[in-house]
Each structure stands twice: as structure tokens, then as C-alpha cells.
Amino acid sequence: MEFAGNTIVVTGGTRGIGRAIALRFAREGARVFAAYLRNENAAREVAAEAAGLSGEIVTLQADVSTQEGAQGLIETAAASGTIDILINNAGIIRDGYLAMMADDDWDAVIRGNLYPLFHCCKWGIRKMMANRRGAIVNVSSISGIAGTAGQTNYAASKGGIISFTKALARETGPMGIRVNAVVPGLIETEMIAGMKRDMVDRIVAGAALGRLGTTCEVADAVAFLASDRATYITGQSLVVDGGIL
């Protein structure tokens, strides 16, 4: 019950890593607002799974890549008080080699991965400032550190999340708001299911632990950074990759 009574916002909170994060907090008593863009079935499923937990998950459809969508999400979540924790997990991927990459694929990934971060943090910290406390955790990727061929757009956006995290931590530290990032490696999600098996096998073979990670393992790292066990940690990027890097 570490997060009992907390109000938590998770973007991209109904599938994959975001779903595991939302459920992790709900198991410990939090009221979680899980934002999603289109998949209503996934939203209904995660809300139903949380029905027997000590906390709850409220699903909200919102395009957090826009100011209107992000502000509406934050205002709704904070209607009964403030926001204690913000998890920025929303994002997209459109792989392709740069020489053949369409402008639309570049723009979509930059907008889909960085604009939600900007808009949700902007409105989220305004709610946290009133209490002079709060925690933000941004979800990046090892592609943003090491780079991945065929992912220049994705690597640029995920590397940007790490730099954004460091800068915002300096801005909000005096107000008691901590900002950190988790940097997942190869995690068992629908995204990985769409990758070529030989590519997955090569990456796994190079990992120190020799396996894929689970969404729950990433959620545990997020929960730690958001918790009162990490009150002197800010501006950091915690790699959760089984030793790939």
C-alpha cells in the first residue's frame, strides 16, 4: 500500500509497459488515470482487471500530443486535489533507414514521443507546485543511448527524453519535484512481437541475463523512482535492459 491515496497519471497506460505500470500502482492503493489514444478494448480490459485491487484505474481517451488533450487529462485527474505522480509513457515507433525515411515518419515519431512529454509535464508540474512535491518518471529506451540502425527518428526522440529529464529535474528540484527516467531494453510487448525473430535472438544473445525483460520488471523500476524510497534521486536515467548495454 505504498501509494495509497496517491493520484497518478500514466500516459499510454492501457497497453504494454504502461498497462503494467498502471496496474502496479493500483495494486498499492493508488487512483490511476490511464490515458489512451484509440484502443477502447484495451482500456476496458485494464480497468476490469483493476476492479478487484485496492486502488483503481480510470481510463481516459486523450491525444496527449496536443496541448488540449494533455491539459484536459491533467485537469481531470487533478479535479479532486493534486497530482502526486506523472508517468510519461506514451509513444510510437516507425522504423526505417534514414536514406529512405519519409518526412511523415520522422515528424510522427518526434511529435508522438516528445510532444506528450512537453505538454503533460508543463501542465503536471503546475499542479505539483502547489504542494511543493511530486515525482515524474519518463519512459525512454536504450535506443536513445546506444542508437539502433533503422531507428534514427526513434533514437532521436528517446535520447531527447533523457536530456529533457535532466534539464527539467534542475528546474523543478527547488520546488520539491523529482524527475527521472527509466530506459528499458528489449521487453516482451506487442512491439517486440512485430520484430524479426532473428533480430530479437541476436539482441537477447548479447544480453548479460540472456533473456527478454517483462513489463512488470520495468513497472517495478518506475515504482521505485516514484516512491519515497527515492527521495534523493532526481535527473537520473535507470537502465532496465538485462545487461544489453
- Structural domain boundaries in the chain: 7-240
Q: How far is CA 185 from the centre of its chain?
A: 13
> Residue 46 contacts by C-beta under 8 Å, 6 or more apart in sequence?
13, 14, 19, 22, 23, 34, 57, 59
CA distance 232 to 20: 25
Query: Looking at residue 35, what is its pLDDT?
Result: 96
The type of residue at 151 is: Q
Taking the C-alpha atoms of residue 207 and residue 199, their distance in angstroms, rounded to an integer, is: 13
Q: Is the pLDDT of residue 57 over 70?
A: yes
Confidence of residue 26 (pLDDT cuts 50, 70, 90): very high
Residue 76 binned pLDDT confidence (cut-offs 50, 70, 90): very high
The answer for residues whose C-beta is within 8 angstroms of residue 102's C-beta and 6 or more apart is 96
Give me the long-range contacts of 165-172 (CB less than 8 A, separation at least 24): 165/138, 165/140, 165/235, 165/237, 166/235, 168/121, 168/125, 168/136, 169/234, 169/235, 170/235, 172/125, 172/128, 172/134, 172/136
Least confident span in 2-6, 23-27, 176-180, 202-206: 202-206
Confidence tier at 124 by pLDDT (50, 70, 90): very high
pLDDT for res 201: 86
Distance CA 50, CA 100 (A): 43
Residue 111 has pLDDT above 80, yes or no: yes
The residues annotated as belonging to the active site are 154
pLDDT of residue 148: 84
For the segment 136-163, the average pLDDT, to the nearest whole number, is 95
Identify which of 91, 113, 87 has the alpha carbon closest to the alpha carbon of residue 33: 87
Instruction: Give the tens place of pLDDT for each residue, 174-204.
Output: 999 999 999 999 998 877 766 777 778 888 8
- pTM for this predicted structure: 0.94
Q: Which of 81, 84, 74 is nearest to 28 (CA)?
A: 84
Contact by Cβ (8 Å): 7, 30: yes
14/5 Cα distance (integer angstroms): 21
Domain 7-240, CATH number (from 3.30.70.380, 3.20.20.370, 3.40.190.10, 3.40.50.720): 3.40.50.720
Average pLDDT, the chain: 94
- Band of residue 16 on the pLDDT scale cut at 50, 70, 90: very high
- What does the pLDDT read at residue 125? 97
Taking residues 8-36, what's their average pLDDT? 96
